C-alpha cells in the first residue's frame, strides 16, 4: 500500500468535506424549520460564481467568501417567499431554484469560464503538529475554513439542543401550529432558517472556487455537491454532528479514486459522477414514505406549508 498517496487522499478528503458540510448544515437548519430546499445545488452555483467574480475584483479572500454567501442567502429568499408566504410546493420550488441557479450562474460566469483565480485559501501549518505522521497533514495542515466548519457544526448542535431559540426552531419544524399558539413567529423562523441555509450553501459554493479548484467551470465546479449535501442531511438524521461526520465520509468517497487508482483499482469516473444523483434518488425514496420519514427522524412538518387555522 502506498502510504503517501493514502495520507494525501485523506487530507484532500477532509478539504473536500468542507463544502459538503457547509451546504448540508445550512440545509439542516432549513429543514429543521420545516422547509425542504432542494435548490442547494443552485444556491452553491450562485455562491461559487459570485465569489469568483468578487475574488477577481477585490483580490480579498474573505470578501469573496462573504459575497458568495450573501448571494446564496439572497437567492434562497426566492424559495422562502414561494414556500412560506405563497405556500408553494417546496419540491417544485426547490427544483426551480436549481434550474434558475444554473441559468444565472452560466450567464454571470460566461466571461470567466476556464479562467484561473489567484485568490484562494492556503493551508495553515500548525508548526510541529503538522509534521506528525497521518494526523499532521490530515488535521493540522488545512485551511481555516475546515476549522470554521467544525466549530460551526458544534455551534449549530448546541443551538438546536440547548438554547431557547433552538427549541422554538425545532417546534416550528415539528408542529408549527403548536409553536404559533405559544407565540413563536413561524413564518419569521422559516424565513430566517431558509436564508441561513442559502448563506451556508453560498459559502460552500464559494469555497469550491476559493479553496479547491481556483477556477470557474459551469459543469465542474459543483459537480453534484449540492445533491450530496441534500442526501447527507437525511442520512445524518437531521443531526449536525452526524452531518459533519458524514461529510468527511462523502469527502473521502469523492477523493478515494486517486488513491484507488494508485492501488490498481479502477472505478470509472462516470460512476463517481453518478453518485450524487444516485444518493438523491435513494433519499427521495425515503421522502416518498411519511412513515419512513418519521422513523429516520425527519421533522414532522417537513415540506408542509403552514396555514394558520383562523377559526
Partner 1 sequence: MPPSEAAAGSETVRSRPPAIAAVGVTKRFPGVIANADVDFHVDVGEVHTILGENGAGKSTLAAMLCGLYRPDEGTVVRDGSPLRLRSPRDGLAHGIGMVHQHFRLVDRFTVAENIILGDPTQPWLIDPEAVEDEVAAIGERFGLPVDPHARIGDLTVGQRQRVEIVKVLYRGADVLLLDEPTAVLTPPEVEALFVTVRAMVAEGKAVVFISHKLGEVMSVSDRVTVMRNGHVTGEVATANTSQRELAELMVGRSVVLETRRGTTSGEVGLSAAGLVVRDDDQVALDHVDLDVNQGEIVGIAGVAGNGQRRLARALAGIETPAEGTVVIGGVDVTGRGALAARRAGLAFVPEDRLGTGLVPGLSLTDNMLLTRRRAFFVDRKTARADAEQAIVEYEIKAPGTEAEARVLSGGNAQKVLLARELAEVGEPGGPQVVIVSSPTRGLDVGAAEFVRGLLHEARERGAAVLVISEDLDEVRSLADRIAVLYRGRIALEGPADELRLDEIGMAMAGVDPAEVR
Closest to partner 1 by CB, 122 vs 182, is 182
From the list 78-86, 118-126, 180-188, 194-202, the region that binds partner 1 by CB under 8 A is: 180-188
Closest to partner 1 by CB, 81 vs 159, is 159
Phi-psi region of 267 (alpha: psi -120 to 50; beta: other; left: phi over 0): beta
291 part of the interface to partner 1, by CB under 8 A: yes
In whole angstroms, the minimum distance from the beta carbon of 81 to partner 1 comes to 25
Burial of 210 (0-12, 13-18, 19+ CB in 10 A): buried
CA distance 77 to 90: 13
Closest to partner 1 by CB, 50 vs 189, is 189
CA distance 262 to 206: 30
In whole angstroms, the minimum distance from the beta carbon of 38 to partner 1 comes to 24
Contact 48, 251 (CB under 8 A): no
In whole angstroms, the minimum distance from the beta carbon of 189 to partner 1 comes to 12
| Of residues 294, 275, 194, the one with CA closest to residue 237 | 294
134 part of the interface to partner 1, by CB under 8 A: no
162 part of the interface to partner 1, by CB under 8 A: yes
Closest to partner 1 by CB, 135 vs 285, is 285
CA distance 301 to 285: 18
175 part of the interface to partner 1, by CB under 8 A: yes
Reduce the DSSP state of residue 43 to 3 states and report it.
helix
From the list 15-23, 42-50, 171-179, 265-273, the region that binds partner 1 by CB under 8 A is: 171-179
Closest to partner 1 by CB, 46 vs 179, is 179
Closest to partner 1 by CB, 174 vs 273, is 174
Closest to partner 1 by CB, 134 vs 185, is 185
Q: 156 is written with which cell numbers?
A: 449549530
In whole angstroms, the minimum distance from the beta carbon of 102 to partner 1 comes to 36
Q: Which of residues 182-211 bind partner 1 (CB under 8 A)?
A: 182-184
Closest to partner 1 by CB, 126 vs 180, is 180
178 part of the interface to partner 1, by CB under 8 A: yes
| Of residues 109, 124, 121, 90, the one with CA closest to residue 19 | 121
Q: Taking the mean position of all CA atoms in its chain, how far away is CA 255? A: 17
288 part of the interface to partner 1, by CB under 8 A: no
Q: Which of 92, 177, 267, 281 binds partner 1 (CB under 8 A)?
A: 177
Give the length of the chain: 311
How many residues bind to partner 1 according to rule CB under 8 A?
A: 21
Contacts 24+ apart (CB under 8 A), 1-7: 1/263, 2/259, 2/262, 2/263, 5/258, 5/259, 5/262, 6/259, 7/134, 7/137, 7/138
Sequence-distant (≥ 6) Cβ neighbours of residue 189 within 8 angstroms = 33, 168, 169, 172, 179
218 part of the interface to partner 1, by CB under 8 A: no
In whole angstroms, the minimum distance from the beta carbon of 236 to partner 1 comes to 17
Closest to partner 1 by CB, 184 vs 304, is 184
Contact residues: partner 1, CB under 8 A: 162-168, 170-171, 174-175, 177-179, 181-184, 291, 300, 311
Amino acid at each position: 500500500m502506498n502510504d503517501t498517496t493514502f495520507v494525501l487522499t485523506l487530507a484532500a478528503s477532509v478539504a473536500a468535506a468542507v463544502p459538503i458540510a457547509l451546504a448540508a448544515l445550512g440545509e439542516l437548519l432549513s429543514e429543521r424549520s420545516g422547509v425542504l430546499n432542494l435548490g442547494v445545488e443552485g444556491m452553491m452555483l450562485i455562491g461559487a460564481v459570485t465569489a469568483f467574480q468578487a475574488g477577481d475584483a477585490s483580490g480579498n479572500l474573505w470578501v469573496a467568501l462573504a459575497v458568495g454567501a450573501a448571494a446564496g442567502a439572497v437567492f434562497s429568499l426566492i424559495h422562502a417567499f414561494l414556500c412560506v408566504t405563497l405556500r408553494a410546493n417546496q419540491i417544485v420550488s426547490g427544483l426551480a431554484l436549481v434550474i434558475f441557479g444554473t441559468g444565472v450562474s452560466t450567464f454571470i460566469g460566461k466571461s470567466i469560464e476556464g479562467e484561473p483565480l489567484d485568490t484562494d485559501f492556503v493551508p495553515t501549518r500548525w508548526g510541529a503538529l503538522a509534521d506528525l505522521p497521518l494526523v499532521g497533514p490530515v488535521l493540522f495542515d488545512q485551511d481555516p475554513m475546515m476549522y470554521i466548519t467544525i466549530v460551526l457544526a458544534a455551534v449549530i448542535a448546541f443551538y438546536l439542543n440547548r438554547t431557547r431559540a433552538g427549541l422554538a426552531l425545532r417546534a416550528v419544524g415539528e408542529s408549527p401550529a403548536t409553536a404559533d399558539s405559544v407565540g413563536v413567529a413561524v413564518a419569521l423562523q422559516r424565513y430566517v432558517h431558509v436564508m441561513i441555509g442559502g448563506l451556508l450553501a453560498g459559502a460552500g459554493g464559494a469555497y469550491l472556487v476559493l479553496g479547491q479548484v481556483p477556477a470557474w467551470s459551469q459543469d465542474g465546479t459543483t459537480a453534484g455537491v449540492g445533491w450530496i449535501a441534500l442526501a447527507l442531511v437525511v442520512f445524518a438524521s437531521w443531526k449536525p454532528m452526524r452531518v459533519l461526520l458524514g461529510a468527511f465520509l462523502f469527502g473521502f468517497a469523492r477523493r478515494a479514486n486517486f488513491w484507488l487508482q494508485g492501488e490498481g483499482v479502477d472505478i470509472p469516473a462516470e460512476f463517481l459522477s453518478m453518485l450524487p444523483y444516485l444518493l438523491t434518488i435513494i433519499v427521495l425514496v425515503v421522502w416518498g414514505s411519511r412513515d419512513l420519514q418519521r422513523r429516520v427522524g425527519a421533522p414532522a412538518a417537513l415540506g408542509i406549508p403552514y396555514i394558520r387555522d383562523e377559526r
